[in-house]
Structure 1
Amino acid sequence: MDSLSPQPRLRDQFRAVIRVNHYSIRTEKSYWYWIRYFIRFNKLRHPLELGPAEVNAFLSWLATDRQVAAATQNLALNAIVFLYARVLEQPLGEIGDTVRVKRPPKLPVVLTHTEAMRIIERLAEPYHLMASLMYGAGLRVVETSRLRVKDLDFDRQIITVRDGKGGKDRTTLLPTSLLEPLRQRKQRIFTAWKAQDIFFAAPVSLPFALRRKYPAASRSLEWQWLFPSLNLCIDEDGNGVRHHRHVSSVQRAVKLAVRAAGIAKPAGCHTFRHTFATELLRRGSDIRTVQTLLGHADVRTTQIYTHVLGQGFAGVQSPLG
């Protein structure tokens, strides 16, 4: 009878494997996006019917027809390799020579300190505080949105970033100027939570199986979102839970503020993180310290900001002075 039982859908197989291996939800979504893209490219044939030749053709098509960035092509490859090696347990092996995207990395857009503050000043709460954290602590927009009450250490002035890019945890500095606004926000959350305000009647969303392991955590103060969503969403068990503020709303608010400030640069939320790094280097911070605060695995990633500042010229001056 067991041999006749239906096999789980590929989507369910993929989800089970990626969560057992503790990949982040963003990695899960991006991997599944490219796996689905690969399947659609091959006219909905099951991956077990495909092989290295089809993978090669798909990656080459992304480079030549879609003209994707090198990082995007690598992400698609990583997703497909994960599917075959970890989910289907049939590693691809050699896929041959694909057409690789060869585009030199571009310098990031950065703001001056004055420009960054002009944008932040035009934001209403909670976006004003969220943008201040992105600029003042070098946080990504998703890291800012996911902050919980327990992630703030006021005594040591440290912010703990959980499950950041690559599933890594790190700590970064908590700006002195944001101590009081954050204390006030935490106090407002505590007061309403203790008074059993209707806003806190629903539990907060928790990662993966944590809500089963620690069922009380979803209603505790420590696990409350610092920037909660105004509306509830439905979790995988069909229960109404409160999630964090969606990153798209933050991005939209920042874009409007950039326009209102008259900044003639293609700036967005991630620009605050770039500006954080360049400002630290401009003020004399050690590049290794900046690397740690940003959570970069390789210092070469951080070194791009020295080129933005022109610090890679070894003191050479123009003939015009």
Structure 2
Amino acid sequence: MKKRLMTVFLAICTLLACAGCAKNADSKIQTKSSTSAKKAEITVAGSTAFEPLVKQAVTSYAQFNPSVKVNVLGGGSQAGLNQVDQGKVEIGTSDFFASQQNIVNRDHLSDYKVAVVGIAVVANQKLKVNNLSVSQLKDIFSGKITNWKQVGGKNQKITIVSRADGSGSRKAFELNVMGKTPIAAAEELSSNKHLEEYVAKTPGAIGYLAFPYLKNSKPKLKKIKIDNVTPTAEHVKDNSWKIWAYEHMYTRGMSRGEASKFITYMLGDDVQDGMLQKAGYISIHDMEVQKDEHGAMVKTGNQPAAKLNSH
């Protein structure tokens, strides 16, 4: 009898031990599965003028959303619109309206205005000219004025530096300075950063640069006044400084999923009430004017936080 009881006891112990092993194995499998779970991923691509702010926002966003990976690519506004139109990225960023470019399915793109960026006229720091009229600036970039002595500087050749076609910064400059007059032959560069570096090292050079790139520019570039107006955020807000553009985020159709959540974050207090201004942008809440894709201005006071357009 005792022998039979001992046999039963040992069998029960063996079963309990096996159950414990199975539980531990299941636990290990579940842990491994959870740690190797793939993050949700979206890609934001386009405007290099908007890129610094988006990168800062992504770093902050990751602290609250560690399960989401947001990739940030440049390439220019035209590239951003083309890629979101083709479904290659979830969000395309642009310094101009999709309706201003030949985007195949632009009527199906949704537009979220997130910020405003000023575009400064910059020159090599050794230049002695501090102020230009709009007319003089236009004549310089059209090739009519070719030497700095023609606008009060020393006898020195003017080197025009511009962004390449497809750049939102270039579009803003053309709309607000050049009108229908084309920019003359120039050194054309693919990003704000490259333009900043080129002007800094080239005597006699003049170009245009998004405000955020002026904050930490080394060596410092000379900011040129236009009609005695300095390129500052305050002057952009009331349109005293007229060279500026909206920073758009476009999605294919209405934003949804992780793209919608990230755009909502960009329009929220964390970005609009601090991060944005520190990075050199202007909040859409602070603008005293609005303008449409044709450049027509409307003085309205502060505009809504986000305006969704179906073009």
Band the TM-score falls in, shorter-chain normalisation: under 0.3
**Larger strand share, 1 or 2:** 2
Larger radius of gyration: 2
Q: Which one has the bigger helix percentage?
A: 1
TM-score normalised according to structure 1 size: 0.24
The one of the two structures with greater contact order (alpha-carbon pairs below 8 A, sep at least 6) is 2
